[in-house]
């Protein structure tokens, strides 16, 4: 019987690992649909940024209550995986609590993991309360209707169930230890699950063995299923947050990148020695679709947690305009997914959609480029970079801009300034005052 369980476990582990690798490979493929971008400079600063922002959660503390709750879930999720490692070893080799030889250290570790499991459970319950009872406004914007809200709910409920499974598994194990059952040597400290032990007091050893195995299998299979749910979920940020923050933009947020081809043309016109006269003309300006964005833009979209902090601080959104930076990221990810599915289906010809089929010009021109969204994001996502590239396309490729901007462009072209009078008349105001 034991060998059968081991074989089933190894097969389950292999299947889960295969599908996770396959799905993550698709996401990697979709991210690399974007243009090349060099973000390998200043590795020391990049490592420090990742450690502070992704690992240290430093940008979460701007909102203390969700920061504390998120820290419980975050640190619990990471450290409880040490117990999952023990479960995997037990499953492969048919052992039981293989790390119990550590004695008092093991007791302290299991007790600590149980406290963390409780904190994760409480944190998830409070997150559900904030979302559906307190109804925090940023969780109920139009873009959150349908799947995004269902996804968040599935994640929180799954984590609650998995934490209960750990505690019930430990409680049934503890009950077997008390009864002196074979193969269940006294090991571990159970400060939380001890309160569940009375549920199993009247159960026979045989029944307890079955219950303990049921909870054990439920917990590990639940983790493997949840692992393969991540690539379909916004919860994939628990993996991508680290590389995404590593590849953050290190330059000041307000610094706008020049378009290289235009810079080169200006240098050639001015006869500057570093101009490249052999540079090929650009195929297009700005971005029309996700394939025109950079791979970092698409990684940003896959890393988005849909927390809505960006939208909640956006001045345009606060004044009733259509723009929601969170929606920009969600639309970018949806479009990348759409192209990826066409590739998986073997469709080679382009479709009749692009990113501007998802994001309207009204949304783009509502942005005032203040960078509040990029500053607020807890994992350094930059919606403004995508907005800027899409606006470049509208202006430079489609000549579609608000009338006020078109007037300014005309004045700059004709008069060298935004104002509607020639350069020769510019100093008249000075002569009038003597």
Per-residue pLDDT reduced to its tens digit, 13-58? 999 999 999 999 999 999 999 999 999 999 999 999 999 999 999 9
| 3-state secondary structure labels for all residues of 151-168 | HHHHHHHHHHHHHHHHHH
CA atoms within 13 A on the CB side of 332: 36
Contact 242, 50 (CB under 8 A): yes
Q: Are residues 113 and 229 in the same domain?
A: yes
- Structural domain count, the chain: 2
Residue 86 lies in a domain: yes
Q: Is residue 297 located within the same domain as residue 388?
A: yes
Instruction: Judge whether 363 and 323 are in contact, CB under 8 Å.
Output: yes
SS (H, E, C) the chain: CHHHHHHHHHHHHHHHHHHHHHHHHHHHHHHCCCECCCCCCCHHHHHHHHHHHHHCCCCHHHCHHHHHHHHHHHHHHHHHHHHHHHHHHHHHHCCCCHHHHHCHHHHHHHHHHHHHHHHHHHHHHHHHHHHHCCCCHHHHCHHHCCHHHHHHHHHHHHHHHHHHHHHHHHHHHHHHHHCCCCCCCCCCCCCCHHHHHHHHCCCCHHHHHHHHHHHHHHHHHHHHHHHHHHHHCHHHHHHHHHHHHHCCCCCCCCCCCCCHHHHHHHHHHCCCCCCCCCCCCCCCCCCCCHHHCEHHHHHHHHHCCCCCHHHHHCHHHHCCCCCCHHHHHHHHHHHHHHHHHHHHCCCCCCCCCCHHHCCCHHHHHHCCCCCHHHHHCCCCCCHHHHHHHHHHHHHHCCCCCCHHHHHHHHHHHHHCCCCCCCHHHCCHHHHHCC
39 within some domain: no
Question: Residue 38 falls within a domain, yes or no?
Answer: no
User: Does any domain span residue 130?
Assistant: yes
- Kindly report, residue by residue over 128-167, the tens digit of the pLDDT: 999 999 999 999 999 999 999 999 999 999 999 999 999 9
Is 413 a member of any domain? no
Same domain, 13 and 73: yes
**Residue at a domain's end among 187, 218, 246:** 246
Q: Are residues 215 and 292 in the same domain?
A: no
Residue 175 shares a structural domain with residue 103: yes
Q: Is residue 293 domain-resident? A: yes
- Positions of the chain with pLDDT under 70: 1, 182-186, 434
User: What pLDDT does 386 receive?
Assistant: 97
Do 123 and 192 lie in a common domain? yes
Domain end point (choices 189, 218, 246): 246
Which pLDDT score, from 0 to 100, does residue 274 have? 81
Whether 410 is covered by a domain: the verdict is no
| Model pLDDT, residue 334 | 97
Q: What is the pLDDT of residue 219?
A: 93
242 and 310 assigned to the same domain: no
Range of the domain at 322: 283-400
Domain harbouring 290, CATH code = 1.10.1060
Nearest to 187 by CA among 197, 195, 178, 199: 178
Do 171 and 303 lie in one domain? The reply is: no
User: What CATH number did the domain enclosing 206 receive?
Assistant: 1.20.950
Asked if 95 and 224 sit in the same domain, the reply is yes
263 domain-assigned: no
Residue 138 shares a structural domain with residue 197: yes
- The dihedral through the CA atoms of 123, 127, 129, 134 has a sign that is positive
Residue 9 and residue 90 in one domain: yes
Q: Give yes or no: residues 305 and 226 share one domain.
A: no
């Amino acid at each position: 019987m034991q060998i059968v369980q081991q074989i089933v476990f190894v097969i389950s582990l292999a299947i889960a690992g295969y599908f996770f690798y396959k799905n993550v490979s698709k996401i990697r493929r979709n991210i690399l649909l974007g243009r090349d971008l060099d973000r390998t400079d200043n590795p020391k600063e990049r490592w420090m940024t990742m450690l502070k922002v992704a690992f240290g959660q430093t940008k979460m503390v701007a909102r203390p209550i969700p920061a504390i709750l998120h820290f419980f879930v975050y640190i619990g999720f990471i450290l409880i995986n040490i117990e999952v490692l023990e479960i995997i070893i037990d499953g492969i080799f048919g052992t039981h609590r293989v790390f119990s030889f550590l004695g008092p250290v093991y007791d302290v570790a299991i007790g600590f993991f149980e406290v963390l499991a409780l904190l994760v459970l409480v944190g998830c319950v409070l997150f559900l309360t904030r979302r559906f009872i307190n109804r925090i406004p940023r969780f109920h914007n139009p873009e959150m209707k349908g799947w995004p809200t269902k996804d968040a709910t599935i994640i929180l409920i799954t984590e609650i169930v998995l934490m209960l499974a750990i505690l019930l598994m430990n409680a049934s194990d503890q009950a077997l230890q008390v009864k002196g059952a074979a193969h269940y040597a006294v090991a571990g400290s159970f400060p939380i699950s001890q309160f569940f032990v009375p549920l199993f007091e009247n159960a026979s050893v045989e029944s307890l063995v079955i219950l303990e195995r049921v909870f054990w299998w439920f917990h590990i299979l639940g983790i493997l299923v949840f692992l393969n749910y991540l690539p379909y979920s916004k919860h994939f940020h628990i993996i991508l947050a680290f590389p995404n923050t590593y590849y953050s933009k290190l330059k000041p947020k307000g610094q706008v990148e020049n378009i290289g081809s235009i810079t080169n043309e200006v240098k050639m016109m001015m006869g500057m020695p570093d101009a490249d006269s052999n540079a090929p003309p650009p195929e297009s300006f700005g971005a029309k679709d996700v394939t025109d964005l950079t791979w970092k833009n698409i990684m940003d979209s896959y890393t988005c947690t849909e927390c809505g902090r960006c939208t909640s601080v956006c001045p345009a959104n606060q004044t009733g305009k259509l723009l929601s930076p969170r929606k920009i990221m969600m639309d970018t990810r949806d479009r990348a997914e759409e192209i990826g599915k066409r590739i998986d289906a073997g469709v080679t010809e382009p479709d009749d959609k692009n990113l501007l089929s998802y994001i309207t010009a009204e949304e783009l021109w509502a942005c005032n480029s203040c960078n509040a969204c990029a500053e607020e994001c807890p994992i350094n996502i930059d919606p403004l970079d995508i907005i800027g590239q899409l606006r470049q396309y509208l202006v430079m490729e489609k000549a579609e801009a608000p009338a006020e901007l078109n007037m300014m462009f005309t004045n700059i072209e004709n008069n060298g300034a935004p104002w509607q009078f020639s350069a020769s008349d510019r100093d008249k105001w000075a002569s009038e005052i003597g």
